Amino acid sequence: MSVGIVIVTHGQTGQSLVNDAEFILGQSLGSIHCIEFNQSGNQPTGDDELKQVIAQSDHGEGVLVLADLVGASPANLVTGLLKEYRAAMVTGINLAMLIRVWNYRDTPLESLTHKAVQGGIRGIEAFHPPIE
């Protein structure tokens, strides 16, 4: 068994990250569910859709939800639902975080949550020309 992974982002950001991770890893990440949040669109994402996806993704080990921006609508929606499920959320998803989560999805939810944060942080580095 492994932890379920759900990505909740504005528009197609989540699916784009999954596509890139599949290219890099050379394998399908088919068990990851992506929810496109389009608050200004004709059909905004609601609690019901998110609840259904989280419930379907939990196979006994819990669910890790990766969201794009802390304080934004997708993350706020998830925050309101976390207490109803064995789930955790990490915001600020990036490609390094997603690949790390995929590679360690068989670890317990609490550990995977920590690995997601560390993977995201380790994937960020500043490069700049030397200052003269």
List the CATH number of the domain containing 12.
3.40.50.510
Please state the domain count of the chain: 1
| Token pair in block for residue 18 | 């999954």
Give the pLDDT score at 47: 76
- Looking at per-residue pLDDT, the higher value among 129 and 87 belongs to 87
Task: Note the pLDDT tens digit of each residue in 14-59.
Answer: 999 999 999 999 999 989 999 998 765 555 557 788 999 999 999 9
Is 39 part of a structural domain of the chain?
yes
Burial of 130 (0-12, 13-18, 19+ CB in 10 A): exposed
Is residue 105 included in any domain, yes or no?
yes
Structure-token pair, residue 23: 């290219």
Six-digit token pair at 42?
């004709």
pLDDT on residue 40: 56
| Global pTM value | 0.91
Dist. CA 18–CA 23, nearest whole Å: 9
Cite the DSSP H helix spans in 1-132. 13-25, 47-57, 73-79, 95-103, 109-122
The C-alpha atoms of residue 54 and residue 65 are separated, in whole angstroms, by: 8
Distance CA 97, CA 118 (A): 8
In sign, the C-alpha dihedral spanning 30, 64, 115, 69 is positive
Residue 124 resides in a domain: no
Residues 72 and 69: their CA atoms lie apart, in Å, by 5
In a domain, 73, yes or no: yes
pLDDT over 70 for what percent of the chain? 94
Q: Measured between alpha carbons, how far is 124 from 33 in angstroms, rounded to an integer?
A: 25
